[in-house]
Chain A
């Protein structure tokens, strides 16, 4: 088969394919999936999700099990969403050797439930002192935290207002509360709910939100000239978070699900490609060689056919603890049986063609006839079955991951669902943790089903509708 024939064949196939609408739709979906792999860092808030999925420090600013941010649209009580605030007004003052810098962050608060925590971040060198305070819309200024840093030669500073300003915020609230008779435990009062509530009686017990513009003020005392605090920003861990919420380990599900796209594509495509290549070659060889070789190859094929795939994969994963590459190899080792039967019967037909006889008369070797004259004719069929094996490969990997036997260095949709299952997401109705990963598995399967069925439609004109 020459290159030009190949090109013409592809052109013909494409012309036919274009007419199948759902096939085109599948191609568009596939394109979107591939696109998400490339623009991954720009569409997720946590671009390192793929490599740091199990690193708890990467996720520590997020809220626990928060629903998606858009839940606010359908709910009467609006919860403050998670956000990262970097924009601020910066001013500096010099008093002798000591430098005093002041950064003011403006926070527009128009929700019914306050953020769960507000966290200050910075990168400090030397021995600076960091002081955080808040100016409320009603004019009250509350000093929250005073954090001296001792002799750092460069480290991340993280100050959680929710944890470190319990006393200050309690004292502020207690000024308005009639505390005689009923004692309110300090540990029971959430600092953020005091800070973002109206200053009146009940602020500690039944707080009502005070909406308006808040100013978060970070004052930093730099005692010597070499001292630096830079890259300062605040993170708000809200009652709602991100596109798809967070799980019980504070991980952003949207980031995880998007990170899973590339692994699903890799697992699906690589497994399908390897398996179908082996299967097609095997089937054609078996058909062409014939005789005892064919019999032997058929016996081996039947041996593989008798293997219940998922149980064997589960036991192998449980015992050998494979990484993702070994897992793909294992799946390919069993998936290749799929196309063999069809390919062999097709091969038996092709074998009788006169041009094969002609090639034999010219003295062409078996391998040349198989790979040059027989396999190319089966390429369209091979692609169609490849597309239809992709979803199965993804589902098998997810099933194994669901049992907790997946490769723990990556993040796949099956693993997210495993965590959801063990984290009680089903029991507690954390739908945003259960629905998206599975939906993506289903969507990916649908994509390849559309493409595969469309190709199948072209290859089996007999079943085409009148």
Chain B
């Protein structure tokens, strides 16, 4: 039964992704074609440079025209607009994003997919670590707040949540760099690792050392919100009748909290954790640029700076794919934790 639910959800998620890709292709069609056309011209130019110089000018123009026509047919540029949009979306879905105009991957390749693929794990590493620490701290504080709801501690920390509510994490990042990297020089100002990177075990130490500052910044802003949400979730549960019943039975408060309330609170808390991870991708990704953390967010900065449209587009498609994937996984986990969901529908 759960498997049926899983498969249905995955297919559904993929369908939405395909539709989104079509919409993006249609929306950005003109720009993408412009870059494609100028690339074709460039390719033809390099080809003619390598040609036999004994060609007459007429022959040369004919040759160029032929090559142009051939290339345009190759990239479906001679077809009507809707079919070009279709082919572009099809290419994206088969992970063919074309070649970058300026940017290169760390191994020097121009293939957009390779450039993006090497960034994905870095983004995931940074944000999952931050969210993980976030949730641990949020649980610790949120449970305390829920237990003593209305106390001074609860109130002041709630005010803390509101204070950081609209604070941009990248701004805090700038301040943190200014202080910890340039004034008190105890952390590196950015990057993934030192140059040249150390080998063996030291590599990981170095990586964590570089990760400390961005993760600290994300946690410093994020955990207030998670603590507040966890407090609300747990507080709502603590007011249920069965908690009252457990208390009247004389079960110790600790056991009520961790045994009874937490079991019910687990699904929404897991959802919240995943949702905040998704929110990081959807709203916080350029944070990486401040710390020059070479992930997907930093790629947006560089692609915009160098006006590299293929990379920008490819990055958008991959971010959307990750985001959709996250939403699907969220539903799958939720369905696993909360049996009521998967029964829903017609079954």
Measured between beta carbons, the chain B residues less than 8 angstroms from A318 are 304, 312
**Contact A308 to B323, CB < 8 A, known contacts A314-B286, A463-B236:** yes
A435 partner residues in chain B, CB cutoff 8 A:
175
Cα(A316)–Cα(B323), bound, Å: 18
Range, interface on chain A: 35 or more
Residue B264, interface by CB 8 Å: no
* A305 cross-chain contacts in B, Cβ below 8 A: 327
**B281 interfacial contact with A, CB 8 Å:** yes
B 147-179 to A, binary, CB cutoff 8 A, 1 in contact else 0: 001100010001101111111101110110110
Beyond known contacts A391-B165, A438-B168: 11 more, CB 8 A cutoff: A302-B16, A306-B324, A307-B320, A308-B320, A314-B304, A391-B166, A395-B168, A429-B183, A438-B175, A446-B163, A453-B158
Instruction: Name B281's closest neighbour in chain A (CB-CB).
Output: A308
Return the CB mask of B220-231 against A: 1 if under 8 Å, else 0. Answer: 000000000000
Contact A402 B327 (CB under 8 A): no
**Cβ contact within 8 Å between B320 and A306:** yes
Once the chains bind, are A444 and B283 in contact (CB under 8 Å)?
no
A311 in the interface (beta carbon within 8 A): yes
User: Chain A: which residue is nearest B171 at the CB level?
Assistant: A438
B165, A445: Cβ atoms closer than 8 Å: yes
Candidate in A22, A315, A396 with the most chain B CB atoms within 10 angstroms: A315
Q: Which residue, B168, B283, B301, has most C-beta atoms of chain A within 10 A? A: B168
Main SS class of interface, B:
helix
Contact check: which of B31, B162, B324 meets A22 at CB < 8 Å? B162
A315 touches B168 (CB 8 A): no
- Tell me the nearest residue of chain A to B284, going by C-beta: A310
CB-CB < 8 A to B13: which residues of A?
Answer: 306
A399 touches B168 (CB 8 A): yes
Contact indicator B300/A311 (Cβ below 8 Å) = yes
Which A residues are in CB contact (< 8 Å) with B187? none
Nearest neighbor of A422 in chain B, beta-carbon distance:
B305
What is the distance, in angstroms, from B108's C-beta to the closest C-beta of chain A? 25
- A463-B171 CB under 8 A given contacts A303-B20, A315-B28: no
Q: List 24 A-B contacts (CB under 8 A).
A: A22-B159, A303-B16, A303-B20, A309-B282, A314-B286, A314-B304, A315-B313, A398-B168, A403-B300, A405-B304, A417-B174, A420-B174, A426-B182, A427-B182, A434-B174, A434-B175, A437-B171, A442-B164, A445-B165, A445-B166, A448-B166, A453-B158, A463-B232, A465-B154
A319 at the interface (CB under 8 A from B): yes
Q: Give residues of chain A (75-128) contacting chain B, Cβ–Cβ below 8 Å.
A: none
Distance A140 CA – B31 CA, assembled complex (angstroms): 68
Q: State the CA gap A245–B172 with chains docked (Å).
A: 20
Docked pose: A444 CA to B164 CA in angstroms: 11
Given contacts A312-B316, A403-B286, contact A449 B166 (CB under 8 A): yes
The answer on a CB contact under 8 Å between B149 and A311 is no
